[in-house]
Structure 1
Amino acid sequence: MLKGFLTIFITVAFFACSKSQELPKDGVKDTFTNPVWNGADPWMVKQGDDYIYCYSSNNGIAVSSSKLMTKRAEAKFIWKAPSTGWNSNCVWAPEIHFIDGHWYVYYAAGESGPPFIHQRTGVLRSSNDNVYSDYEDMGMLNTGDDPSDISKNIWAIDMTVFKHGGKLYAVWSGWLEQMDTDATPQHLYIQEMENPYTLKGKRVLLSSPEKSWETGGPLNLNEGPQILMRNDQVFIVYSCRESWLKEYRQGMLQLKSQDADPLDPKSWIKKGPVFEGNNSVNGVGHVSFVKSPDGTEDWIIYHSKKSTEPGWDRDVRMQPFTWNADGTPDFGEAVKAGESLKRPSGEIDVEKLINSN
């Protein structure tokens, strides 16, 4: 009797559990959970209806193009580091930008490491508007203080670019001067660009780690700057504290007005922290921003540490954010792993259309 009862109980439990895990009839889930995949330094950009994701792997740079934010497509390598030269090792944190009919990839690399004292910034350019086209190596950018002498170039990583007031600007993380140790504080610099692969004029020191919320650890850093724009307002959201610690977090610079000069440090207001970890999420950093498929929502893409222990084992997450009454972004609190989130607005319809074809 007991055996029969247990058989019935197990059978009922099995079917109840199976039913709760069934997909909707159309096979499309309406929620997702973080993390979405492994990796670090996530760079995602929306071009038309496509989400382009760019990252470094095996000393090269890969990209994927997907109609869905939360499901990355198969990636293809667009560039492999050469066997020798300034950019033959330590390929870090690439970003891909579509400018005037071409894709441009900004990345950091060095001739050797550790110690990581040789990192500089290079640029790749696509042959056409296809993100999977051939790429030409446009060389190293001169991120030093002497525009006429690239031999005096200075350490630079995490470059991003943006257009404002009809001009193109580059922002990156660099050192005040070249050092023989990678235990060197990092600062944010800005410089106008002559074109997408040439800097113009001289670099300007924009931000240093000096606030209480961006200092206090073994090494003070400002890095991973990303541009966020809305209603004529310009923000630079950047990472601070140490990338290998759970205290890694986001600060923000806000351009005072649409007409303010981006090259004048006094034109920017520093705020922070604007996004940080909690008891469930460690070391949020190196963000990027995209719109939902239907354009009605703003999303932040970021990485976080997998544990509280020092190190760079990280995964990629995403969540929506809103805006305050004063026009500044409100990123909210980092959502813990496994908590259900509604999929980006419009994404379910896109997936249903893909499945129907």
Structure 2
Amino acid sequence: MKKYIGTVLLLMALSFACSSESVDDSETNTQARTTFANPVWDGADPWMVKQGDEYIYCYSQGNSIILSRSKFLTQLGERKAIWRAPASGWNSNCVWAPEVHFVDGHWYVYYAAGVSGPPFIHQRTGVLRSETDDPFSNYEDMGMLYTGDNPDDPSSNVWAIDMTVFEHNGKLYAVWSGWLEQMDTDATPQHLFIQEMENPWTLKGTRVSLSSPEESWETGGPLNLNEGPEALLHNGQVFIIYSCRESWLVEYRQGMLQLSNPNGNLLDPSNWQKHGPVFEGNDKVYGVGHCSFVKSPDNTEDWIIYHSKKSTTPGWERNIRMQPFGWKADGTPDFGTAVPGGKEIPRPSGELELEESIND
């Protein structure tokens, strides 16, 4: 995800070792069919969406964007590189945090990229569109989105990453993390913006500043960030779960914006209430951030997929975790406590039965 200039960059060269204790084979075989343990795989900025009976997982690898599709939430499946950055141009490097969304019969990938870095001051947001309704089909480059304050002047575009989109009351909205104005240093605070979309590859009107790092639980470190926004829709309510504090530190955590009046104006900042932190690390799980949400195979459970740091050392060595979550009496999400690595978690509801039916 985001990189921060200065001495912190030197820490990225550190390596991490993993070990596990052996257990009785019979116990392993039994648990393998009923439980799993975090972390599930390496990576960062996990985006997963359920389409029909498949889980589509999207991630960047180098300067490529990869999709996986699987019948199982807890396992990656068939993989395909659906896009590789061009050799030159605005999106030739630093491909970060892609998401894939199914809108009006096509898959759209939103990703951040820049012409170079560090310093990472060139990041903008691009869009890809699938040729068909198959996520593994070819993709057309729809270009760069304008995420500044003057759409009539493309040269005035402003740094933007972590874009997500969602539909509400018949309208399509984009939410992303960006700067108030273009800067020549990546040690710049990040804010959340929202904007209506004309279509999945065109923003409509001008951006609205939705959230800034102002609360005590989202400030206090060397660089104040609001980033990684993700929409969570439930029973007519709209929530935006986002990451705050510094992505390279153990204090990285999740905040929440709640739409006060779901039938009101989403572009009115006063219609959103901020809560937090709603999900954070502990003495065994470090720096939880940038999540996505899916249903279990039988659609009876809600799951959060997120990344965490591999150690307490500042840096961006991370892995992917997942766990079920519930809902409070007031209708807000209850993410509970981050489950320590190695602790057995029941497999998502319906996954075991699905595996058995496939193997029959």
Same fold (TM over 0.5): yes
The alpha-carbon deviation at position 18 of structure 1 amounts to: 3.7
Structure 2 counterpart of 1:117: 121
Paired with 2:132 and 2:242, the residues of 1 have a C-alpha distance of: 31
Q: What is the CA-CA distance between 1:150 and the residue it aligns to? A: 1.2
Distance 1:30 1:82, change over 3 A: same
Give the Cα–Cα distance (whole angstroms) in 2 for the partners of residues 18 and 79 of structure 1.
41
Provide TM-score, normalisation by structure 2.
0.93
For residues 270-349 of structure 1, the aligned pairs below 5 Å read 270-349=274-353
Is 2:214 aligned against 1:210?
yes
SS in 2 for 1:352: helix
Q: 1:86 aligns with which of 81, 90, 113?
A: 90
Alignment of 1:145-294 (within 5 A): 145-294=149-298
CA positional deviation for 1:17:
3.3
**Shift of the alpha carbon at 1:324?**
0.2
Name the CA distance, whole Å, in 1 between partners of 2:160 and 2:238. Answer: 23
Cα-to-partner distance string for 1:208-250 (whole Å, 9 max, x where unaligned): 0000000000000000000001110000000000000000000
Query: SS at 2:100's partner residue?
Result: strand
Distance 2:235 2:195 in 1: 23
Greater Rg, structure 1 or structure 2? 1
Corresponding residue number in structure 2 for 1:12: none
- Opposite residue 202 of structure 1, the aligned amino acid is T
Secondary structure at the aligned position of 1:348 is classed as helix
The C-alpha deviation readout for 1:99-157, integer Å capped at 9, x for no partner, is 00000000000000000000000000000100000000000000010111111100000
Count of residue pairs brought into register by the alignment: 338
The one of 65, 77, 82 equivalent to 1:61 is 65
Distance 1:231 1:20, change over 3 A: closer
* DSSP 3-state at the match of 1:303: strand
Give the match for residue 19 of structure 1: 26
- Residues 231-279 of structure 1, C-alpha deviations (whole Å, 9 max, x = no match): 1000000000000000000000000022121100000000000000000
What is the DSSP-based 3-state SS (H/G/I as helix, E as strand, rest coil) of the residue aligned with 1:75?
strand
SS at match of 2:78: coil
2 CA distance for matches of 1:107 and 1:258? 28
CA RMSD of aligned residues (A): 1.0
SS at match of 1:29: helix
Shift of 1:19: 3.4
Overall identity of the aligned pairs, in %: 72
* Partner secondary structure for residue 352 of structure 2: helix
Match of 2:4 in 1: none
Residues in 1 aligned to 2:139 and 2:255: alpha-carbon distance in whole angstroms: 33
- Structure 1 gaps of 5+ residues are 1-15
1:65-88 deviation digits (Å, cap 9, x = unpaired) = 100000111321000000000000
Structure 1 range deviating more: 28-37 or 186-195? 28-37
Runs (4+) of structure 1 moved beyond 2 Å?
16-24
Q: Secondary structure at the match of 2:185?
A: coil
What is the CA-CA distance between 1:23 and the residue it aligns to? 3.9
Counterpart for residue 18 of structure 2: none
1:121–1:22 CA distance, 2 compared to 1 (3 A)? closer
Once the two structures are TM-superposed, the CA of residue 351 in structure 1 deviates from its matched residue by 0.9
Aligned counterparts of 2:29 and 2:355: Cα–Cα separation in 1: 18
Using the size of structure 1 for normalisation, the TM-score is: 0.93
Q: Residue 38 of structure 1 aligns to which amino acid in structure 2? A: D
For the residue of structure 1 that corresponds to 2:261, the secondary structure is coil
Match for residue 9 of structure 2?
Answer: none
Amino acid at match of 1:301: I
2:143 pairs, out of 136, 139, 143, with 139
Distance apart, 1:46 and its partner CA: 0.3
Q: Which runs of 5+ in 2 are unaligned?
A: 1-22
